[in-house]
Amino acid sequence: MIQGEAIKELIPQREPVMMIDTFYGATATEGKSGLTVTSSNVFCENGKLREMGIIEHIAQTSAAFNGVKNKQANGEDSAPKLGYIGEIKKCQITRLPKVGERMETQVVVTAEALNVTLMEATTNIGAETIATCQIKLFEEE
């Protein structure tokens, strides 16, 4: 489990755009992260994390998964690569997390090619699924 400052070893984003506070670990094809919503979150409004925050949380879960894979392939000292969202599909958000609530996102790799990763994400608050999404992530070489 990776938390706090160590998250910066996995993803290139920095405050105030960091949207994961914990990365729980990765298998060959799956990764999981979490974020507790705080009122100071840049994507929070009127006590709720907006859609942008949820989708960025999903994107950074994918980025952290890639960060772990990058370290496994290229060594622990490998810095996280810059990455961008290439495409989002079938993104359903049924409700917004409130300040104090914790959301956790599981990503599963469905396809990989060179610097492109296609993933399916599920975001839960407790047992309740609040968002599902397909995301394509590009990474710089």
One of 6, 79, 82, 116 touching another protein (CB under 8 A): 82
DSSP annotation of 121 reads E
Comparing CA positions, the residue from 37, 20, 36 lying closest to residue 121 is 20
52 sits near another protein (criterion: CB under 8 A): yes
Give the Cβ contact number of residue 12 at 10 Å: 16
To another protein, the closest distance from the beta carbon of 58 in angstroms equals 9
Q: Say how many residues touch another protein, by CB under 8 A.
A: 32
- The three-state secondary structure class of 74 is helix
- The three-state secondary structure class of 66 is helix
DSSP annotation of 9 reads G
To another protein, the closest distance from the beta carbon of 27 in angstroms equals 26
67 sits near another protein (criterion: CB under 8 A): no
Binding mask 4-23 for another protein (x = CB under 8 A): --------xxxxxxx-----
One of 84, 100, 112, 116 touching another protein (CB under 8 A): 84
